[in-house]
Amino acid sequence: MTKLTLGSHPYLLGFEQLERLVERTAKSGNEGYPPFNIEQTSDTSYRITLAVAGFREDDLSITVEHNQLVIRGRQADEGEDRVFLHRGIAARQFHRSFVLADGVEVSGATMENGLLHVDLKRAVPESVLQTIQIRKA
């Protein structure tokens, strides 16, 4: 028996890129830090919220490249003159990536009480009916 993959199914033409995208996302190495929520705020909008306590706006970067939203955090070293008797608050860098569907764009980002909110909006494409003329060979 032959295993059908998304890219090899006879009725799904041109979806090979989607299959590669799913594989790349599975291998992206996103760890559990920082924790995040994804919520649907309307029929065409979403919000990703990351818990980034201890990070300032200047410590964070948000980029979109090739339909991939990448959020990075890197805290500046506060100086080596500090002596910790116990260090239980994570002060590490992070890298979170999310794959965005075609037509989904970042509409803004805000920081509030140690939470980074990234708002996304999906454009609704117009329905197009295309008639194809049949030529004689």
Q: Selecting from 3.90.1150.10, 3.40.50.200, 2.60.40.790, 3.40.50.170, what CATH number does the domain 31-122 have?
A: 2.60.40.790
- Please give the pLDDT value at position 28: 60
The domain segmentation of the chain, as residue ranges, is: 1-29, 31-122
74 and 39 Cβ atoms separated by less than 8 Å? no
100 and 119 Cβ atoms separated by less than 8 Å? no
Single pTM value for the model? 0.74
pLDDT tens-place string over residues 53-62: 889 999 999 9
